[in-house]
């Protein structure tokens, strides 16, 4: 049966390593199901808080969508800042905007804090616009996030 996903680009050339299932040495405070970005992030933050954590993953760590995402770090939400403030009010809307704006910092801080050997370039992102309407929307989005 073919694999559900292709090999992640970050594993080319192939890195060979094997994780052996381990039996916990003591009581577990939290069991995390899934060894993707969210599961591993949750496990890391729980462990930093002193919890004993066990990650359960049916396949290889990062095998699914987490390993196939292309490596972009794009902060933001589906909705732009003005929409968020209009729909959630000034205080909550601005809190959402500030949170979204800080998400890339969280990723790059984690790389630095954990001393991960992850090459990266932090210099913006591309917003494709295939029509005049899309170009206007992209310019408006740029103005709001700036």
Taking only the tens of pLDDT, the chain with its 146 residues reads 556 656 665 555 555 555 666 777 889 999 999 998 899 999 999 999 999 999 998 888 887 777 777 778 888 888 999 999 999 999 999 999 999 999 999 989 999 998 988 888 888 878 889 999 999 999 999 999 88
Give CA–CA dist 6/12, Å, rounded. 11
Query: Nearest 5°: CA angle at 83, between 78 and 85?
Result: 115
pTM for the whole structure: 0.68
Indicate the SS3 state at residue 1: coil
Q: 67, 79, 40, 45: which is closest to 56 by C-alpha? A: 40
Locate the DSSP E strands across 1-146: 30-33, 53-56
Q: 48, 45, 39: which is closest to 67 by C-alpha? A: 39
pLDDT at 59: 83
Q: 96, 118, 98, 97: which is closest to 107 by C-alpha? A: 118
Under 8 Å between Cβ of 135 and 143:
no
**Treating both helix axes as pointing N-terminal to C-terminal, what angle do 132-145 and 81-113 enclose, rounded to 10 degrees?**
70
């Amino acid at each position: 049966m073919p694999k559900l996903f292709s090999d992640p680009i970050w594993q080319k050339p192939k890195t060979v390593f094997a994780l052996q299932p381990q039996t916990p040495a003591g009581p577990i405070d939290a069991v995390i199901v899934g060894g993707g970005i969210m599961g591993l992030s949750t496990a890391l933050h729980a462990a930093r808080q002193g919890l004993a954590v066990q990650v359960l993953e049916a396949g290889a760590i990062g095998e699914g969508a987490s390993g196939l995402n292309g490596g972009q770090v794009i902060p933001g939400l589906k909705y732009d800042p003005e929409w968020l403030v209009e729909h959630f009010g000034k205080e909550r809307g601005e809190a959402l905007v500030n949170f979204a704006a800080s998400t890339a910092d969280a990723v790059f801080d984690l790389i630095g804090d954990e001393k991960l050997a992850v090459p990266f370039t932090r210099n913006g992102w591309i917003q494709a616009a295939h029509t005049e309407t899309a170009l206007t929307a992209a310019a408006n989005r740029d103005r709001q996030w700036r």
